[in-house]
Amino acid sequence: MSLAFDEFGRPFFIIREQERKTRLRGLDAQKANISAGKAVARILRTSLGPKGMDKMLQSPDGEVTITNDGATILEQMDVDNQIAKLMVELSRSQDYEIGDGTTGVVVMAGALLEEAQKLLERGIHPIRVAEGYELASRIAFEHLESIAHKFEFSCANEEPLIRTCMTTLSSKIVNRCKRSLAEIAVKAVLAVADLERRDVNLDLIKVEGKVGGKLEDTELIYGIIVDKDMSHPQMPKQIEDAHIAILTCPFEPPKPKTKHKVDIDTVEKFQTLRQQEQKYFDDMVQKCKDVGATLVICQWGFDDEANHLLMHRNLPAVRWVGGVELELIAIATGGRIVPRFQELTTEKLGKAGLVREKAFGTTKDRMIYIEHCANSRAVTIFIRGGNKMMIEETKRSIHDALCVARNLIRNNSIVYGGGSAEISCSIAVEAAADKYPGVEQYAIRAFADALDAIPMALAENSGLQPIETLSAVKSQQIKEKNNCCGIDCNDVGTNDMREQNVFETLIGKQQQILLATQVVKMILKIDDVISPSEY
């Protein structure tokens, strides 16, 4: 810390608790920051690409997560270093905005930092490095636009969408059924998409998982699944042409919210009260019957008496259904949520072609399927898998695939994957570098080198010779003027990503480059770190 001295030459305090604070400044601070950032990138580097490995993370309370998703890994790692936290947020914001490419963006930022360090050691001003990076990122951004392909799809032709989702899924643990999962993801997104506004509300896609069965049993249901069973075991298990009453009021005598007290001083009064309560139940069930409901879905519970009554009146019911699910059911079946029995009318009932209760395997678990709904704008993806970790990872993978499909609906441009886009950008940036006078030129060239880090990591993870492979592909791109050459991770035998059908979304790639540059600039711009030295 900066010290000042008093008249006797003793240092005195300017800042509160000065002795307990540490301060790093100048090049030391930058180097420390860079190495923190690089450390994070190094962790994620091995999970990049189709041959990338997974990480096992154990939370403080013993829960185990196995994942390949960059954002999830970093989130669970609980990093303490400030710069490392920035990298975590970088990955998170890629996740928020695009949903995919969370590993790539961190690896990219790590590579940029590594290159920056070399330049700093040569005495180049960090801000000039950052500015050079910014120039280069803009070149790469525009270059991506120029090599992007627009591709047409429609509800009838979903093949291109499926292919792109497959690229995303291929790096995940679920890649053995990537085809079927990709199909499910695309169909789900198309079902809820508003193609005119190019908007997809992913909230309408419910992803539900259940341990047991195998991954291949994962299915898409045009309707809703509720993890509940009928309130009475003797109620019918299957209802066709169901008219559903969706209630947010309990099957019990209404209670005024204001504090109240009923004075009962005679036996008669007690009897009346008792009868009245029974009458309430009766009326409620009758009301549901009257409007023609054949199934009642209730947000609250109801006691055994009501349950018995419902059973007697042959009105199946489901209780304790969560608010979000209730809403989805209402949307799917075209019904209205009814807050009061008096408001129940025939128009407000939801309609579903089939409601059935399904039991799984030998367990007693049962779930309710609501299918063939009037409006299929709400769908459910039902995941099966051998264990809980597997299901959780599949959920994350499906989420990534859904995001990719959504991004394509928003913007139907794609670039080719397998590192081909990065290599192509690297060549373009390298070529553009020479046009810039001044120190920035070095930074731009460094940016080009950093772009090579992604194909390099891909090759490395796939067990190929990284440098040889990269240089071979690079020269091929230049020689054949073909910007679709990438790393052949799966050993298919061709480098052309068009033939391999490896696509990525344009906006995802662009976002990766811009975000990584932005965060690197932020890190480079810090030359002074003041922190309490306790931790």
For the question of residue 103 being annotated catalytic, the response is yes
The DSSP code for 100 is: S
In DSSP terms, 154 is beta-bridged to none
First to last CA, the chain: 17
Active-site residue, selected from the candidate residues 95, 100, 229, 400: 400
CB contact set of 303 (below 8 Å; sequence gap of 6+): 251, 252
Helix axes 70-77, 102-121, angle to 10 degrees: 70
Which is closer to another protein, CB of 311 or CB of 529? 529
DSSP state of 469: H
Nearest to 72 by CA among 57, 51, 50: 57
What Rg, from alpha-carbon coordinates, does the chain have? Answer: 30
Q: How far is the CB of 66 from another protein (least distance, A)?
A: 24
Closest distance between another protein and the C-beta of residue 332, in Å? 11
The answer for 371, left when phi > 0, alpha when psi is -120 to 50, beta otherwise, is beta
Q: Annotated catalytic, 100? A: no
The answer to whether residue 488 is catalytic is: no
**Residue 286 vs 482, nearer CB to another protein:** 286
Q: How far is the CB of 156 from another protein (least distance, A)?
A: 26
**CB of 331 closer than 8 Å to CB of 226:** no
Shortest distance in whole angstroms from residue 517 CB to another protein: 9
Residue 99, token pair as written in the block: 């949903």
Minimum distance from residue 174 beta carbon to another protein (Å):
24
Comparing CB distances to another protein, the nearer of 208 and 527 is 527
Task: Please state the closest distance from residue 392 (CB atom) to another protein, in A.
Answer: 20
d(CA 388, CA 62): 14
* Cα–Cα distance for residue pair 100/403, rounded to 1 Å: 7
Instruction: Indicate which residue of 46, 103, 333, 469 is catalytic.
Output: 103
The C-alpha atoms of residue 224 and residue 293 are separated, in whole angstroms, by 18
**Minimum distance of another protein from residue 126's CB (angstroms):** 7
Nearer to another protein, 130 or 473 (CB): 130
The residues, ordered by sequence, that sit 6+ positions from 509 with a Cβ below 8 Å of its Cβ are 101, 144, 415, 421
User: β-strand 337-338 against 317-318: which pairing, if any?
Assistant: unpaired
Neighbour tally for 334: CB within 10 Å: 17
Tokens 């979903």 sit on residue? 158
Q: Which is nearer to another protein, 125 or 313 (CB)?
A: 125
To the nearest 10°, report the CA torsion of 253, 258, 263, 264. 10
Closer residue to another protein in complex, CB, 398/519:
519
Closest listed residue to residue 439, CA positions, set 135, 139, 34: 135
- Distance CA(437)–CA(408), nearest Å, equals 38
* Nearer CB in complex with another protein: 89/208: 89
Contacts of 362 (CB under 8 A, 6+ apart): none
| Distance, CA of 454 to CA of 450 (rounded, Å) | 8
H or E, element range at 367: strand 366-373
Least spacing, CB of residue 529 vs another protein, in Å: 5
Q: How far is the CB of 400 from another protein (least distance, A)?
A: 14
Which CB sits closer to another protein, 54 or 527? 527
- Residue closer to another protein by CB (options 64, 127) is 127
Instruction: Tell me 456's DSSP state.
Output: H
> Catalytic: which of 46, 65, 72, 102?
102
- For residues 485 and 475, the answer to whether their CB atoms sit within 8 Å is no
CA distance 182 to 162: 5
- As annotated, the active-site residues are 69, 102-103, 400
